[in-house]
């Protein structure tokens, strides 16, 4: 693969492209706006917009928006996170211009027809209710709310039914005008498409958009106090998360924490928590650790589900595994194996070109650059056992861990 090619429009919208062989191309537009940018009376509106942005523009009805790519075998989708909104598509490369025009129409000319808004509210209400019926998923949102108590980044993405039902067309247009900043948008592309053509199409379809630059910074994070909380739930299994605030996405210790998280409870069956809780004791079917970095903070946690009477025993085992990482230096072979596992997972992920497209777009949006995979692998290889001990003691300090349990 060739290196990345970059271009910036006069209004601040940026374009990044990676040339790749094949008949299928991938295109996305990532906007640095998510649920944390909502006011309290806008909770859930960013996610609502992501749903209804496909429901019609000033020149297309909802059917024509979807069929524009589906009629030629393409696929289009979107997602919302706490800090991002993204529309992305995969299609035969000869339809790159068609896709870029459609993206421009959707993002900047969405009409939000009233009938479509009311129908989609019912869809999202079903999504919210479905989520509330799944404690293994709901507990992650409740834990983030506990960790970031009182701050917008702690609120769940889906919103609340009572607010959702009040949103009108003008509310959505106002949120977009206030938060969809052109200097916080990146068009990302991977495929066998000429970059000069991509630049020409970007100028044609996005170049006339009026500059709307971000002037205000996001709300500064509040203080943190660890809290132990138990919520009674009518479930057969207990669910539990223990964790802490963690490093932001640009922190110097982000990479060692990612490696540490992978060792502790990553996707491999040989993770320490899986071996200790599931294989040796049979306490749980599912145990995992996670690390979610944001622009100015982050969160780490360990989740498990077990029988109610085994919650405390499981927490003691987790504490023991954490203490081992805080006090016992990894041997050369252990550290090398952990690095190879992490590099291998990243390499497999990079083979998914749609995922690669989103990754380079997100990196360019946040950092203004994209490190090559070889450069990232080299950084991983430079990590030391002492760094992991220091990070483990800082992030997994037992006096700073909060715990949420559904019983």
Residues 15, 106: one domain? Answer: yes
Contact by Cβ (8 Å): 133, 140: no
pLDDT at position 268 is 74
**Helix 254-265 and helix 311-327, axial crossing angle in degrees, nearest 10:** 130
CA distance 143 to 399: 17
pLDDT at position 269 is 82
Residues 6+ apart with CB under 8 A from 2: 18, 19
Residue 217 lies inside a defined structural domain of this protein: no
The total domain count for the chain is 2
Residues 114, 239: one domain? Answer: no
Q: Is the pLDDT of residue 352 over 70?
A: yes
Q: What is the pLDDT of residues 175-201, one digit of tens each?
A: 999 999 999 999 999 999 999 999 999
Q: What is the pLDDT of residues 118-163, one digit of tens each?
A: 999 999 999 999 988 899 999 999 999 999 999 999 999 999 999 9
Supply the mean pLDDT for the chain.
Answer: 96
Residues 19, 161: one domain? Answer: yes
Position with higher pLDDT, 314 vs 236: 314
**Helix 332-350 and helix 254-265, axial crossing angle in degrees, nearest 10:** 100
CA distance 60 to 53: 12
Residues 398, 321: one domain? Answer: yes
Residues 77, 201: one domain? Answer: yes
Q: Is the pLDDT of residue 255 over 60?
A: yes
Residues 188, 59: one domain? Answer: yes
Residue 184 lies inside a defined structural domain of this protein: yes
* Secondary structure (H, E, C), 149-217: CCCHHHCCCCCCHHHHCCCCHHHHHHHHHHHCCHHHEEEEEEECCCHHHHHHHHHHHHCCCCCCCCCCC
Q: What is the pLDDT of residues 279-289, one digit of tens each?
A: 999 999 899 99
Of 320, 20, 362, 377, residue with least CA distance to 186: 362
Residues 113, 160: one domain? Answer: yes
Which residues are bridge partners to 228 per DSSP? 403
Q: Is the pLDDT of residue 265 over 70?
A: yes
Q: In what order do the strands lie in the sheet with 4-8?
A: 4-8, 14-19, 185-191, 24-31, 85-92, 75-80
Residues 162, 256: one domain? Answer: no
DSSP state of 365: H
Print the domain residue range for 115.
4-206
Position with higher pLDDT, 35 vs 236: 35
Residue 71 lies inside a defined structural domain of this protein: yes
Residues 323, 232: one domain? Answer: yes
Residues 199, 232: one domain? Answer: no
What is the mean pLDDT of the segment spanning 189-218?
A: 96
pLDDT at position 1 is 52
Residue 28 lies inside a defined structural domain of this protein: yes
Residue 261 lies inside a defined structural domain of this protein: yes
Residue where a domain stops, chosen among 176, 206, 236: 206
Q: In this structure, what is the dihedral angle of CA atoms 337, 341, 347, 348, given to the nearest 10 degrees? A: 140
| Domain at 168, CATH number | 3.30.830.10
What's CA 212's distance to the chain center, in Å? 24
Structure tokens at 39: 């006011």
pLDDT at position 295 is 95
Helix, strand, coil fractions of the chain, as percent rounded to 5: 50, 20, 30
pLDDT band at 232 (very low <50, low <70, confident <90, very high): very high
What is the mean pLDDT of the segment spanning 228-241?
A: 94
Residues 269, 169: one domain? Answer: no
The pLDDT > 90 percentage for the chain reads 95
Residues 232, 202: one domain? Answer: no
- Indicate the pTM of the whole model: 0.94
Which residues are bridge partners to 404 per DSSP? 229, 241
Residue 218 lies inside a defined structural domain of this protein: no
φ and ψ at residue 396, rounded to 5 degrees = -100, 25
> Where do we find the tokens 């040989």?
270
Q: Is the pLDDT of residue 83 over 80?
A: yes
Of 377, 372, 373, 302, residue with least CA distance to 336: 377
Residue 168 lies inside a defined structural domain of this protein: yes
Of 300, 288, 96, residue with least CA distance to 187: 96
**Which H or E run contains 96?**
helix 96-109
Enumerate long-range contacts of 219-224, CB under 8 Å, 24 or more apart. 219/36, 219/151, 219/152, 220/296, 221/148, 221/151, 221/153, 221/296, 221/297, 222/148, 222/149, 222/150, 222/151, 224/147, 224/400
What is the mean pLDDT of the segment spanning 21-38?
A: 97
Residue 81 lies inside a defined structural domain of this protein: yes
């Amino acid at each position: 693969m060739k290196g990345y090619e970059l271009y910036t429009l006069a209004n601040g919208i940026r374009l990044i492209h990676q040339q790749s062989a094949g008949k299928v191309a991938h295109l996305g537009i990532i906007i640095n706006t998510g649920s944390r940018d909502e006011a309290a009376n806008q909770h859930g509106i960013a996610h609502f917009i992501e749903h209804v942005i496909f429901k019609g523009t000033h020149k297309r009805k909802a059917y024509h928006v979807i069929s524009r790519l589906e009629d030629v075998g393409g696929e289009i989708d979107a997602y919302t996170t706490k800090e991002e909104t993204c529309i992305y598509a995969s299609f035969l490369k000869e339809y790159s211009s068609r896709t870029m025009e459609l993206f421009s129409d959707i993002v900047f000319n969405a009409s939000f027809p009233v009938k479509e808004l009311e129908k989609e509210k019912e869809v999202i209400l079903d999504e919210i209710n479905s989520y509330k019926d799944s404690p293994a998923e709901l507990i992650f949102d409740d834990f983030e709310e506990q960790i970031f108590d009182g701050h917008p980044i702690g609120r769940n993405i889906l919103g609340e039914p009572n607010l959702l039902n009040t949103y009108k067309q003008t509310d959505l247009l106002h949120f977009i005008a206030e938060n969809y900043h052109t200097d916080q948008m990146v068009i990302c592309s991977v495929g066998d498409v000429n970059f000069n053509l991509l630049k020409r199409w970007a100028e044609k379809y996005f170049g006339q958009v009026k500059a709307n630059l971000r002037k205000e910074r996001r709300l500064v994070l509040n203080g943190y106090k660890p809290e132990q909380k138990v919520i009674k739930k009518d479930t057969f299994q207990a669910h539990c998360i223990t964790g802490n605030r963690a490093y932001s996405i640009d922190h110097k210790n982000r990479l060692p924490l990612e490696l540490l998280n992978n060792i502790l409870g990553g996707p491999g069956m040989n993770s320490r928590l899986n071996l200790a809780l599931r294989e040796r004791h049979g306490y749980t079917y599912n145990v995992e650790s996670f690390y979610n970095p944001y622009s100015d903070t982050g969160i780490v946690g360990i989740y498990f589900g077990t029988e109610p009477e085994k919650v405390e025993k499981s927490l003691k085992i987790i504490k023991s595994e954490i203490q081992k990482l805080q006090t016992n230096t990894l041997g050369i072979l252990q550290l090398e194996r952990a690095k190879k596992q992490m590099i291998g997972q990243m390499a497999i992920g990079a083979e998914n070109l749609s995922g690669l497209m989103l990754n380079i777009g997100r990196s360019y949006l946040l950092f203004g650059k994209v490190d090559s995979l070889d450069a990232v692998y080299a950084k991983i290889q430079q990590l030391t056992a002492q760094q992991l001990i220091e990070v483990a003691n800082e992030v997994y300090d037992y006096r700073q861990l909060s715990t949420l349990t559904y019983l």
